[in-house]
Amino acid sequence: MTDRRRELPSVDRLLREPAIAVLLDTAPRNAVVTAVREALESARSNRAGPPADWAEAVRERLGELTTRSLRPVINATGVVLHTNLGRAPLAAAALDAITAVGGGYSTLEYDLATGSRGHRADHCRGLLAELTGAADGLAVNNAAGALVLALNAVAAGRPVVISRGELIEIGGSFRIPEIMEKSGAALREVGTTNRTHLRDYEGALDGAAAILTVHRSNFAQSGFVASPEPRELAALARGAGIPYLHDVGSGLLLDLAAFGLRGEPSVPEAVAAGADLVLFSGDKLLGGPQAGCIVGSRDAVARCRANPLARALRADKFTLAALEATLALYRDPEAARREIPVLRMLTTDAATLGERAARLAAMMPVEADARTLRGESAVGGGSFPGASLPTTLVSLDPGPLGAHGLALRLRLGEPPVISRVESGRVLLDPRTIASGAMEALATAVAAAFER
């Protein structure tokens, strides 16, 4: 232990230093005191001892303390459904709905006609049914929760038949076998990793409570593979008098084949194939808030609604407000494609992206040596795993910073910019950059080069 570390000033003495005292003019006292304590703590545990400039050390801590942890960023990666960056940006109508409901009181659980208690589960119910062709619908907190709820509601303590090829992991900590176990249902695996036949399911129905299909969201199987059609499984389940559950994952409500996006099961298709319950996310291809949507037969949805887990997994008022507003846009498919950011970004044509890239490149600082080049964007969020989305990228020369150095500066700037690094250059994909964010992006890049 060196003497220098024992000679640390007191909190009070530091707070009286003029360069630190002025911080109290603009920041709450509690925050400044915490910053001083943390600076002292760091000096105590740091081999180097006290900082050369206490005020500077305290200002730095204060900056960290008063910056929000959850902040907006510019997603320049071109990954449209970037789970780590919050998945779907919301449509203006959804944001308006959140603002309208969040700032005051609402009909969350209130029936205006009778002046008495209403039901939270009634919001989105009609729209979910109308847009998917199902008899009924229910929105909960997220799709993982929807699956736990559905399994618990129809199969607690009993076997659920599922193909070995669908015992998958979907993003961090969501593994079908574990989720099934937690739901209280017993896993009854059939078939093999690559091929499962209708007869495999048929031979496993004795005492089973349900059949479950889980969409292989984030990878594609090809080659010597087989699995029965959803309508065959629905018929088999109906014959056995048990429900058929289909977790389709992404919540695709429109046909995007015209835009080169094929192979993802749509919710209306899954409903039409005869599933008793179809489950999907609100914030993947649907383009709404984080939510888990359950649609299906009146009886099966009623069992979910009545299950105590529905209370534990219930959606909050912001979710319901945003989901209702997003779903309402789908009543006019063209409006949905235009106004729901996820759909707009996925369906932006190559020529428009080329123009945007050229405009962005022209806004870059000279030393960035900005060039445009052809590349690809990704759908992300485990949706359309094999899809290719042609785009035009803006490529920057990072100079002495190196590509990773420039990417780091961009992340630590304001607003933070998340870019791609490839072959020693930093790449920006205009597909996921809102047109209103171009100026801010250009300023952030210039600042990263200047510092």
Ligand X SMILES: *Cc1c(COP(=O)(O)O)cnc(C)c1O
Q: What's the Cα-to-Cα distance from 354 to each of 47, 244, 372, 399, 418, rounded to whole Å? A: 53, 45, 8, 25, 20
- Residue number of the CB closest to ligand X reads 249
State the amino acid at position 175 in one-letter form: R
Phi/psi region, residue 51 (left: phi>0; alpha: psi -120 to 50; beta: rest), is beta
Span near ligand X by CB under 6 A; candidates 124-132, 154-162, 246-254, 325-333:
246-254
Restricted to residues 13-32, the positions that interact with ligand X (CB under 6 A) are: none
Output 46 or 193, the one with its CB closest to ligand X: 193
Is 170 near ligand X (CB under 6 A)?
Answer: yes
Minimum Å distance from CB 36 to ligand X?
41
Is 246 near ligand X (CB under 6 A)?
Answer: no
Span near ligand X by CB under 6 A; candidates 22-30, 59-67, 209-217, 262-270:
209-217
Rounded to 5 degrees, φ, ψ at 132 are -110, -10
Output 142 or 163, the one with its CB closest to ligand X: 142
Is 190 near ligand X (CB under 6 A)?
Answer: no
Beta strands in 166-299 (DSSP E): 186-190, 210-214, 244-249, 277-281, 292-296
Q: How far is it, in rounded angstroms, from Cα 320 to Cα 325?
A: 8
Output 301 or 417, the one with its CB closest to ligand X: 301
For 247-273, b/e burial (b = at least 16 CB within 10 A) is: bbbbbbbbebeebebeebbbbbbbbbb
Q: What's the Cα-to-Cα distance from 278 to each of 123, 247, 297, rounded to whole Å? A: 18, 6, 9
Restricted to residues 285-304, the positions that interact with ligand X (CB under 6 A) are: 292
Is 217 near ligand X (CB under 6 A)?
Answer: yes
Q: How far is it, in rounded angstroms, from Cα 32 to Cα 240?
A: 67
Minimum Å distance from CB 166 to ligand X?
9
Q: How far is it, in rounded angstroms, from Cα 101 to Cα 104?
A: 6
Helix, strand and coil content of the chain, in percent to the nearest 5, comes to: 45, 20, 35
Span near ligand X by CB under 6 A; candidates 19-27, 140-148, 311-319, 432-440:
140-148
Is 163 near ligand X (CB under 6 A)?
Answer: no
CB 301 within 8 A of CB 137: yes
Sign of CA dihedral 258, 264, 267, 270: positive
Q: How far is it, in rounded angstroms, from Cα 418 to Cα 253?
A: 29
258 alpha carbon, distance to own chain's centre: 25
Task: Report the residue from 14, 32, 144, 271 that binds ligand X according to the rule CB under 6 A.
Answer: 144
CB 352 within 8 A of CB 387: no
CB 387 within 8 A of CB 81: no
Is 174 near ligand X (CB under 6 A)?
Answer: yes
Output 153 or 426, the one with its CB closest to ligand X: 153
Q: What's the Cα-to-Cα distance from 65 to each of 26, 31, 58, 61, 422, rounded to whole Å? A: 14, 7, 10, 6, 34
Is 281 near ligand X (CB under 6 A)?
Answer: yes
Is 94 near ligand X (CB under 6 A)?
Answer: no
Output 137 or 430, the one with its CB closest to ligand X: 137
Output 9 or 86, the one with its CB closest to ligand X: 86
Span near ligand X by CB under 6 A; candidates 181-189, 242-250, 298-306, 439-447:
242-250
Is 212 near ligand X (CB under 6 A)?
Answer: no
Is 143 near ligand X (CB under 6 A)?
Answer: yes
Span near ligand X by CB under 6 A; candidates 20-28, 68-76, 141-149, 368-376:
141-149
Output 149 or 445, the one with its CB closest to ligand X: 149
Is 277 near ligand X (CB under 6 A)?
Answer: no
Minimum Å distance from CB 381 to ligand X?
7
Is 247 near ligand X (CB under 6 A)?
Answer: yes
Is 189 near ligand X (CB under 6 A)?
Answer: no
Restricted to residues 349-388, the positions that interact with ligand X (CB under 6 A) are: 382
Is 326 near ligand X (CB under 6 A)?
Answer: no
Tally of CB atoms within 10 A around 274: 18
Q: How far is it, in rounded angstroms, from Cα 178 to Cα 175?
A: 5
Size of the site for ligand X (CB under 6 A): 14
Binding site for ligand X (CB under 6 A): 142-144, 170, 174, 214-215, 217, 247, 249-250, 281, 292, 382
